[in-house]
Structure 1
C-alpha cells in the first residue's frame, strides 16, 4: 500500500543504489556562488539560479545506507566539488529514500510517472515534472508531460503540487494558508533559467508561489518538498542537514 504523501513523505519501496563516487574531494570552487539571500514578506529565503549557458543539471540519489544515509553530505563524500555550483533535494521520497513519482537519471528511468490520486502534497493536483536535456529545462503539469513528451529526458523528477501554472498560482492555494514549513521549489523563467528557492523559516504554499510569480516573474514553478528541504553551496560552505533522497546537482560547465 502506498502511504499518503506530505512534507515528510514516506513510502515502502525497493532500494536504489546511489551513484558511485566520482573522485576524491578537491579544493573549493573558484567561482562566485549562484545562490543569494533575499527577504520576501519578512521571510528569509535563499535564491539559486542555474543558467543553461553556464550550468548543467543532473539528478542523483543520496546514499541509502551507512552513517550518512539520506544526506547531501553522504552523497558528497569522495566527490570533487570543483565544478559543483550547488545541490538541492529533488522531491519526495519513501522510507528507503527512493523517489516518489517519475525519476530519470542519466536518461535511465528509475520510477515511472505517478498519475494516481491520494492524500498529501504530492497528489494535490496538478502536480508536475521538472525535466531537461542539453540545457533545455522545462516544468510541465504531469498530465501534460504524459501527453506531449515522447522522448525520455536526460534528467527528470516528479513532485507536487505545482506552485505556479502559466503565470497563475495553484488554484487550491490561499494567499497565506495555515500550513507552514521550511519549503523549497524550482521554477523556469522566460529565458530558460532555473530558479531554486529554499526558505530559511516556515512559510505557506501561497507565499512561496507568490515569490515565484511576483518577485521572479516565473510562469511555471514546482514544489519540491518541505521540512526536509536542503541545500549545499560549496562556495559559501553551506551544507544543510535535512534528510533527502533524490537530488538535483547543478554543475558549472
Structure 2
C-alpha cells in the first residue's frame, strides 16, 4: 500500500524553501536557489508558467540537434529571448532522439511508450511533462493516453517520483543506488519546480524532496548521471556530452545598456 506523505515539518520546510529563493515580481519570476533537505543540497528553480514561458528544445531550425544550453541560447537570441534557467529534459537514444513521447511546437516527434521495460524509464508508472499555453502539468503516462491533453510541448521520462501525493511504490528507503538526479514537479497552484541534486542521491531521497518540501502532488524524474543545469544567476552552466531534450524558462534578452 502506498502511504500518504507525513504532515510534520512540511510547513517549516516549505518556508525554508521560499526563504532560500529570492522573491521577484510575479511577472518576472524565474528564479533558482539553493535548498537543503535532510543534510543534502539541491538547486531548485521555480517559475509560474502563466507568466514565464516554458519551452522544450531538441532541434534547431535546420533539423540539427541543439545538444547544449549555449546553442539554445544562441537560437533564442534571434527572438530577442534568453534562458533564465534550463536543464536536460528526458531520456534519449545515442542519436539524441527521445526514448518516449516528445512534442515540440505542437508537432509530435516520438510516440508515448506505456509498457514496462528495462532501466529507469520502464519502471512504471512513468510520466509526461506537458506544457500548454500558460500551464505546466506532470501526468502519469496511462492517464495521459486515456485522455490526451493538448500539449504544445511534452516530454516523457520515468519513473514518476510522486504520484497523487505518494512516492513511487517501487522506491526503497535503504537503496544504495545513488546518482546526481534532476526532476520536475508542479504545485497545486500551478507553479513549476525543477530540481537537481548537488551530489548523488537515491530515488527515495529525491522523491521526498518533491513530496515533503516542494509539495508537488505529481513529480517526474528527468534523468541521472547526465543531469545538468544552466542557471546564470548562480554562475552555473554545466557542460558535457551533447544532450537530447532540454527544458528552459524564457525571458526577454537584456537590451543595450544606456550610453
Q: How far apart are 1:70 and its partner, in Å?
A: 3.3
Identify if the C-alpha distance between structure 1 residues 33 and 137 changes in structure 2 by more than 3 Å, giving closer, same or farther.
Answer: closer
2:5 corresponding residue in structure 1: none
**1:84-99 map, 5 Å:** 84-99=83-98
DSSP-derived class of the 1:172 partner: coil
Residues 132-165 of structure 1: CA distance to partner in whole angstroms, max 9, x if unpaired? 211121111101100012x431110000000000
1:171 corresponding residue in structure 2: 169
**1:26-65 map, 5 Å:** 34-61=31-58
Q: How far apart are 1:32 and its partner, in Å?
A: 7.5
151-160 or 177-186: bigger deviation: 151-160
Quick check: 2:30–2:48 contact (8 Å CA) kept in 1?
no
In 2, the alpha carbon distance for the partners of 1:203 and 1:228 equals 14
Quick check: 1:163–1:222 contact (8 Å CA) kept in 2?
yes
DSSP-derived class of the 2:233 partner: coil
The structure having more radius of gyration, on CA atoms, is 2
DSSP-derived class of the 2:234 partner: coil
Residues 13-46 of structure 1: CA distance to partner in whole angstroms, max 9, x if unpaired? xxxxxxxxxxxxxxxxxx7861001112222110
2:3 corresponding residue in structure 1: none
RMSD value, Cα = 2.2
Runs in 1 of length 4+ with deviation above 6 angstroms?
Answer: none
Quick check: 2:135–2:190 contact (8 Å CA) kept in 1?
yes
Q: How far apart are 1:71 and its partner, in Å?
A: 2.7
In 2, the alpha carbon distance for the partners of 1:185 and 1:251 equals 19
2:194 corresponding residue in structure 1: 196
Residues 175-222 of structure 1: CA distance to partner in whole angstroms, max 9, x if unpaired? 241110000000010110110000110000000100000111111000
Identify if the C-alpha distance between structure 1 residues 116 and 211 changes in structure 2 by more than 3 Å, giving closer, same or farther.
Answer: same
In 2, the alpha carbon distance for the partners of 1:159 and 1:184 equals 11
Structure 1 length-normalised TM: 0.80
Q: How far apart are 1:109 and its partner, in Å?
A: 0.6
**1:28-177 map, 5 Å:** 34-61=31-58, 70-77=67-74, 79-80=76-77, 83-149=82-148, 151-177=149-175
1:182 corresponding residue in structure 2: 180
Identify if the C-alpha distance between structure 1 residues 225 and 38 changes in structure 2 by more than 3 Å, giving closer, same or farther.
Answer: same
DSSP-derived class of the 2:206 partner: helix
Quick check: 1:54–1:252 contact (8 Å CA) kept in 2?
no
Quick check: 1:184–1:197 contact (8 Å CA) kept in 2?
yes
1:8 corresponding residue in structure 2: none
Q: Which ranges in structure 1 are unaligned for 5 or more consecutive residues?
A: 1-30
2:238 corresponding residue in structure 1: 240
Q: How far apart are 1:118 and its partner, in Å?
A: 1.6
Count of equivalent residues: 219
In 1, the alpha carbon distance for the partners of 2:240 and 2:40 equals 19
In 1, the alpha carbon distance for the partners of 2:194 and 2:135 equals 16
